[in-house]
Structure 1
């Protein structure tokens, strides 16, 4: 058991540990090194390098017999890493109020709304997620939606030093299944929605759903679980938690729900109700029904924390936008240009079904399918795009080690099978954006989907700079 393994570690308390690392390149003299098994690399292959760099104790999951320093084999090195790093940094999470947001779509925007609400309430915050990590006003960038447990504890410690009271963080299914957030005493958590995704890691949807539910299983009876009552798996998540439950939605009985909804390309307006009584009017530049859900989730969590209504409203109004999320761009062109991170069929459906009725002319969409990801979703993505679009351009979106043409041809099957509208394949994403812009006119909308604020395109042997917004800006300004 974990307790027995921790007791075993305790037998080595005479060893002075000066730091912890799971990357052998970061090991220094006196460090404890964790050999973690990853998708592409195995930390056990770097144990000798860690020892050479000064490691005095190794923890791993395989039988290792050649070392002259202590080595402990455990069942899950990642789980023990979470326990040990929390202890090493004196359990910083216990001195913070930590809020987690999980779901297939909407995590980033919901966390941005929550962070803005807390700041409007006068609180110092740390925001952790896909776009960036921000401790107070100190910004850094990462490739993980949720940091490894070691880095999380370092961030929590830094947050305390900066006078932070609240941490708002995206919690991915990867993080939950790989113990990155193990032992964190969340005061509240939001469930946005769930759809078939990340099967390259979880293998089955059931495993994916179980991973998401772990966040709510971890909540104690004094915490708050804020759940989307309209989601098909709402009751599954609700039954997994012992926390106080607040619900939100548009169509199902909920604690808080939206009415009087008005959509425009420039955003949405609606009212939030509780028990038939209007409690708040909302106006935001972020459009689409999915952002109503994101706001409802953030609002509900804010209410659970006893934040005054006026502070919640101010926080929502203060957030003018989220990079790469329903980002309407005006560079002087006579058509509408929208950039959105939607990169699965669920997200694509929501952004396209929002834009379609708001577009009197043609809806032109550029999208791609990620390499080394679940290939079965590619035709579904293309079907959704072509269902709503007058013209579809299949391009690239981080092909990684896969052949970009193969990912495009997988997607094309969804258009051919359903006999959808006009389309073409342009693998060079710059050329794809240029083509979309060249055929757009007054009253049309161009959607650049999938990459959002990203600034790189990842191929197997190289990474090149690419940002949809900047590429579009340069092309438009050339033509003006």
Structure 2
């Protein structure tokens, strides 16, 4: 595509050089630049892309989008006021507006986004909507599954993935939408057929500063929606009422408490292998059997069901879609052991999420509940003692260990958690996460449960700026293999 065509929807401050120059691709990472590709300099929180203009030039870039003056031989420069805000417009134009060819469902909230996304994706599969998927864990572009680097990618990467999905013949797409993405214009211009709100708890206050700012970021997904779009809201969360008043979308609700909601809870049974849930929907009642546990997963199931209702998907496809999903990576993953105790691996890294998974496992009535967890460094410190209190409320034995300490002193993080625990006699502090997990497993006896929380699907541990290979599931697998137990295969 020529530069002239790329900038046709932009408000530009000025240009320099040949605007008929051909651009084969666009990059914001100078290290990825190849000949005939354009470089857009993005000002981030840790570094400024303008510092790498020379490197991009050396790697072959001759077209630049910049907020600062560039004086390089034979360079074509488009000057913009705010490159970050322009990036989604540039990306959408360059990839031929691929979002218009997809029915996109965006899911936002503090907890439950990933599971709700997988459930909704599974429903759309059964309904033959040919869906793609993008979550914190993985994404599917129609040809292959890939590991995700973040919950919602930069707009350039996102539109590139949309384009690949359309090229692969996909017709719909389910994606998580983070508060960071909404604040940083990553999904600006994306047309969502439906937006889903799961809940709002405490998270990311290191970035948003206040809970109100955090909510306002989430609400942006629904602002500007019209009557042709759907807003699917958790009626039991008080923030949903404020979303209703800010959107012109057609509203669908789900509730554990209000029988008048679009999808409402009737009853459930906790069974050995999961839950049996009965829900009321506009066409009547449906019964769903699932491998998932906990009230929080009933909410996730209701969110996906309400989305299906809003999209007009037949009841049987909704039931089949939910029941066919056996596991979500790093989300309440259950591993029974030959010794009669159970192990659960979960991504819970907020107070609400930790309380949810612990309550769910507690409902299975274990003889003793052992909790292994920590908290991330360089993140909201205020949530650490609250997480400690949640662990004490449910755990008979608590092992505090490293999560991703990042640049912080690991012991300082653990002491912050410890401050929220009154009965410290129930606590072991073992900074080495592998040793901590093994200790918890060795402590377990028949009919006990061990919850390993905080990292879930992650396959690394970040310490002092370095990401070391580490996977809670691999540590569990090691433990199984040492005992010559068969490790359950992934579904």
Give the TM bin, normalised by the shorter chain: over 0.9
The answer to whether the 8 Å contact 2:9/2:89 transfers is no
Task: Quote how far apart the aligned CAs of 1:230 are.
Answer: 0.3
Distance 1:114 1:356, change over 3 A: same
Distance 1:158 1:388, change over 3 A: same
The answer to whether the 8 Å contact 1:256/1:274 transfers is yes
Give secondary structure in 2 for the equivalent of 1:215: coil
Instruction: Select the residue among 99, 107, 121 that pairs with 1:101.
Output: 107
The answer to whether the 8 Å contact 2:343/2:450 transfers is yes
> Does 1:190 pair with 2:196?
yes
Aligned runs of 1:289-304 on 2, under 5 Å? 289-304=295-310
Distance 1:113 1:4, change over 3 A: closer
Instruction: Select the residue among 374, 381, 386 that pairs with 1:380.
Output: 386
Task: Quote how far apart the aligned CAs of 1:66 are.
Answer: 4.2
Q: What residue in structure 1 maps to residue 4 of structure 2? A: none
Q: What are the Cα deviations for residues 302-359 of structure 1, in whole angstroms up to 9, with x where unaligned?
A: 1111111111111111111111111110242321111111111010011111222323
CA distance in 1, matches of 2:413, 2:427: 15
Q: What residue in structure 2 maps to residue 446 of structure 1? A: 450
> Does 1:149 pair with 2:133?
no
CA distance in 2, matches of 1:438, 1:331: 12
Distance 1:70 1:123, change over 3 A: same
Q: What residue in structure 1 maps to residue 286 of structure 2? A: 280
Q: What residue in structure 1 maps to residue 488 of structure 2? A: none
**Structure 2: tracts of 5 or more residues without a match:** 1-6, 485-491
Q: What residue in structure 2 maps to residue 410 of structure 1? A: 416
Distance 1:48 1:116, change over 3 A: same
Q: What residue in structure 2 maps to residue 240 of structure 1? A: 246
Q: What residue in structure 2 maps to residue 120 of structure 1? A: 126
Task: Quote how far apart the aligned CAs of 1:4 are.
Answer: 9.0
The answer to whether the 8 Å contact 1:389/1:421 transfers is no
Instruction: Select the residue among 262, 273, 287 that pairs with 1:255.
Output: 262
Task: Quote how far apart the aligned CAs of 1:167 are.
Answer: 0.6
Task: Quote how far apart the aligned CAs of 1:113 are.
Answer: 0.6
Task: Quote how far apart the aligned CAs of 1:376 are.
Answer: 1.2
Give secondary structure in 1 for the equivalent of 2:220: helix
Structure 1 range deviating more: 32-41 or 318-327: 32-41
Q: What residue in structure 1 maps to residue 273 of structure 2? A: 266
Q: What residue in structure 1 maps to residue 360 of structure 2? A: 354
Distance 1:459 1:335, change over 3 A: same
Q: What are the Cα deviations for residues 195-214 of structure 1, in whole angstroms up to 9, with x where unaligned?
A: 12111111111111111001
The answer to whether the 8 Å contact 2:13/2:80 transfers is no
Give secondary structure in 2 for the equivalent of 1:398: coil
Distance 1:4 1:129, change over 3 A: closer
Instruction: Select the residue among 125, 128, 137 that pairs with 1:131.
Output: 137
> Does 1:305 pair with 2:294?
no
Aligned runs of 1:388-399 on 2, under 5 Å? 388-399=394-405
Instruction: Select the residue among 58, 69, 72 that pairs with 1:64.
Output: 69
Structure 1 range deviating more: 167-176 or 350-359: 350-359
> Does 1:342 pair with 2:345?
no
The answer to whether the 8 Å contact 1:227/1:234 transfers is yes
Structure 1 range deviating more: 131-140 or 78-87: 131-140
CA distance in 2, matches of 1:116, 1:479: 35
Give secondary structure in 2 for the equivalent of 1:271: strand
Task: Quote how far apart the aligned CAs of 1:10 are.
Answer: 8.4
CA distance in 1, matches of 2:458, 2:87: 30
Q: What are the Cα deviations for residues 228-273 of structure 1, in whole angstroms up to 9, with x where unaligned?
A: 0001211111112110000001013422111121123521112111
Task: Quote how far apart the aligned CAs of 1:25 are.
Answer: 1.0
Structure 1 range deviating more: 431-440 or 329-338: 329-338
CA distance in 2, matches of 1:105, 1:334: 30
Task: Quote how far apart the aligned CAs of 1:454 are.
Answer: 1.6
Aligned runs of 1:216-227 on 2, under 5 Å? 216-227=222-233
Structure 1 range deviating more: 161-170 or 47-56: 47-56
Give secondary structure in 1 for the equivalent of 2:374: strand
CA distance in 1, matches of 2:292, 2:111: 15
CA distance in 2, matches of 1:202, 1:182: 19
Give secondary structure in 2 for the equivalent of 1:424: strand
Structure 1 range deviating more: 258-267 or 339-348: 258-267
Distance 1:212 1:9, change over 3 A: farther
The answer to whether the 8 Å contact 2:13/2:79 transfers is no
CA distance in 2, matches of 1:459, 1:203: 24
Task: Quote how far apart the aligned CAs of 1:67 are.
Answer: 4.3
Q: What are the Cα deviations for residues 114-151 of structure 1, in whole angstroms up to 9, with x where unaligned?
A: 11111111232110011111122511112111111111
The answer to whether the 8 Å contact 2:14/2:79 transfers is no
> Does 1:37 pair with 2:43?
yes
**Pairs aligned (count):** 475
CA distance in 1, matches of 2:217, 2:332: 28
Distance 1:114 1:137, change over 3 A: farther
> Does 1:327 pair with 2:333?
yes
Q: Give the superposed CA RMSD.
A: 2.0
The answer to whether the 8 Å contact 1:386/1:420 transfers is no
Structure 1 range deviating more: 67-76 or 152-161: 67-76
